[in-house]
Structure 1
Amino acid sequence: MTTAEPTEPSGTETGIRLTGRGVAVFAALAAAVVALALVVPALADRFQSANGGVLLSDVAKGWSHTVLHPAYWVFLAVLALLEWRWPARRGEGLLSTGGAQDLAWLLLAPFFTLTLVAGYVHVLDALYDGPLGGTALDVEGTLGTAVAFVLAFLLADFFMWFSHWVRHKVPPLWRFHQVHHSQRAMSALTDNRVHFFESIVSATLAYVPARLLGLGDEAALLLALGTVYFTGFTHANLRTNLGPLRYVVVTPQSHRIHHSTQEPHWDKNFGAICSIWDRLFRTQYHPADEYPGVGIDDQDFPLEHSTRPAAVLATYGRQLVYPFRKVAADLRR
């Protein structure tokens, strides 16, 4: 971790200081998470037994496995401290207005991932087991779980790189991906600012390699969780390029370049975990010491300006609807 002085604030985020109110807010959230982690599993069972409560049960279980998992909040707390000590740019990070908006995306994601996205995965199951006959290479059974895991990881990571490139190049897909790029204050929660339409694409990319290689449920879950934690790290407001490791994996610095508002940085650094694909296909931006401001050049996009809960929820709704409006407007032209 380099200790070089961060650049000046971008001017778009005032942030919440790590001392005083910021610590109080984070401590209150952590206490709420601990309390909910103890209560939600019991509520999930009660919802399950209630008439028509399957959706609420699934959402509650989704929260208990992700949002309310203690390890995830320890991870966020560590990154918050690192962002305070070595910020890429002051005023960004978890304790900022943008961080509050990303928290809304994290908390509300299960309503889509466990309904629309889960339903879509069931359709994939039916297609894969039906017309495709459930074909699988069974690499796990033949070469072992470790080999199957590595192959599935590399295949999925390449597909994530390719899908990311496509979402920048195809205008309708960019409208949905634009939601993710709208963040002006990078943090470990920014990777959760993803439209559910994009989650459907991601579900496909995670599903296909796992089924094709015959990867078991436990190994597939480990792959998914590992990706969540790593991409949380690469979106953090950290001033580091990981030294020689940057030639192998994506870093907070290289991914900040991808989110940059500066034109020389556009359409660069598409990698999710491995940086080898960008180097192979010549989309890697090579200087590793630049920490630009981030965001999008769209004056109409409904950006967040307040941490008040009502304002955060209202902005979330507008950001969710905005891509559909823009695609419809583009089609009318």
Structure 2
Amino acid sequence: MLTAPFAASVRHVGAVVDETGDLLRRSGDLRAGRGLISTVVALLLGCLSLLAVLAFHFPQYLTMPELRHQYSVEVLRQLLLVALLLAGGLSLTNLIFARRRNLNLLAFALVLGAVALGGSRVPVGDFPNHTPYIGLDWFILDLLGSTTLFVVIEKLFPLYRGQPIFRPEWQTDLKHFAVNHFLVGLILLTVNFLIHHVFGWLVSAPFQQSVRTIAFLPQLLLCILVADLAQYWTHRAYHQVPLLWKFHSVHHSTKTMDWLAGSRQHILEVIATRVLVLAPLFVVGFGEGVVNAYILIVGFQAVLIHANVHLPWGPLKYLIVTPDFHHWHHSQDTEAIDRNYAAHYSFLDYLFGTAVKSKKQFPERYGVVGDYMPAGFMRQQWFPFRAMFAAQGKTES
């Protein structure tokens, strides 16, 4: 028989779990004055701090080799210390004022756990570079950076002013975001293998050398153009080939556009698109600095064009892809179906006759026509195969 103190502890843990689960299932506005905003920030920072400490302990398995050589460990230690202080301070303040007690106890426990494991002072010794890994560091840095930057931009320049940060289905898109980051090592390995083994025979060293003699800025603009031409026709194929649409429809199923919406993609589409877009850059032979700059641009623009943002772009909207331009691509409106394919240069759609023509300023509704996509990350990953099996069954019958 359980003793009274132990039973009370079990009930309290259960209450913390239930309240945390309820918070993660909810959507809607975070209203100031109730301690919820500071609690969410404390929980987020506490969780990410604990994950960061684990990454310090096991860098060979939890960090990307490409990033290890780029950032300063000391700067990351300072960032981790700031995150721990903020999470601990916010959660402790809320506990003192009896606000969201169970959730703030969890946040404070995450901070204590991170500190107990070494906090920002975890020593990092020598470790092998060629071990299997997940991109935990990439997930932490990108989530912090994206939320900090794009949530601010969305609040300063919103397209839909009443849209909350935690809009419906944010949980599903966060899972897509996490999986795409955690599996970045496997994705990169697969993409590089396919590019070198399928397209390697097209490489011409003299041609590549001539391309690298082009000045940086013109070479970068040319690199973006080559990538976007590949992106345009790949994207167009996703819409016009029924088999490919089954996979791409996962991306189109989000009914609310914000910075997180672009993360919703089928994992096979992620791999296929990267192979087909990066292969021409590999064959042409753009300089390493140019390709790195392109990757930074595509990373920023891919998030921005899905964001809940509206700015007066002026004539630029006919040159580059903006949020307004790409939002039409995700619309269910009749005039928007199979339009606006470009990812960087909007003039490609005007050139190829696929730009949206509408008297309306903004779309009325987003998502796939018929709203047939199931909810949840795993169901969306399985959806294309289920759809293929269903179509095959109808053919056979």
The amino acid across from 1:63 in the alignment is L
Contact 1:241 1:254 in 2 (8 A): no
- Unaligned segments of structure 1, at least 5 residues: 1-12, 304-314
Specify the structure having the higher radius of gyration (Cα).
2
> Match of 1:98?
169
Residues 213, 31 of structure 1: alpha-carbon distance in 2 compared, 3 angstrom cutoff: farther
* Counterpart check, 1:156 vs 2:227: yes
Quote how far apart the aligned CAs of 1:243 are. 2.5
- Unaligned segments of structure 2, at least 5 residues: 1-25, 64-125
> Match of 2:131?
54
> Match of 1:310?
none
Residues 118, 187 of structure 1: alpha-carbon distance in 2 compared, 3 angstrom cutoff: same
> Match of 1:178?
249
Secondary structure at the residue paired with 1:69?
helix
Quote how far apart the aligned CAs of 1:85 are. 4.3
TM, length-normalised to structure 1: 0.79
Cα deviation, 1:133-185, whole Å, max 9, x if unaligned, reads 66552245322443332222110011111111111111111111111111011
Contact 1:187 1:237 in 2 (8 A): yes
> Match of 1:326?
387
Which one is further off, 200-209 or 39-48?
39-48
Q: Matched residues in 1 for 2:290 and 2:165: separation?
A: 30
Structure-to-structure mapping, 1:273-312, within 5 angstroms: 273-286=344-357, 287=359, 289-303=361-375
Contact 1:93 1:185 in 2 (8 A): no
The amino acid across from 1:16 in the alignment is D
Q: Matched residues in 2 for 1:78 and 1:116: separation?
A: 26
The amino acid across from 1:247 in the alignment is Y
* Counterpart check, 1:234 vs 2:295: no
Q: Matched residues in 2 for 1:300 and 1:201: separation?
A: 24
Cα deviation, 1:229-270, whole Å, max 9, x if unaligned, reads 112111011233522221111121221111112212211211
Q: Matched residues in 1 for 2:163 and 2:385: separation?
A: 28
Cα deviation, 1:46-76, whole Å, max 9, x if unaligned, reads 679999x933x2x1xx332x32226x63443
Quote how far apart the aligned CAs of 1:44 are. 2.3
Residues 258, 140 of structure 1: alpha-carbon distance in 2 compared, 3 angstrom cutoff: same
Residues 271, 46 of structure 1: alpha-carbon distance in 2 compared, 3 angstrom cutoff: closer
1:68 to 140, 144, 147: 140
TM, length-normalised to structure 2: 0.67
Quote how far apart the aligned CAs of 1:217 are. 3.5
- Bigger share in helix: 2
How many aligned positions are there? Answer: 302
Secondary structure at the residue paired with 1:68?
helix
Q: Matched residues in 2 for 1:256 and 1:23: separation?
A: 31
Higher relative contact order (CA 8 A, sep 6+): 1
Aligned-residue sequence identity (percent) comes to 25
Residues 46, 302 of structure 1: alpha-carbon distance in 2 compared, 3 angstrom cutoff: closer
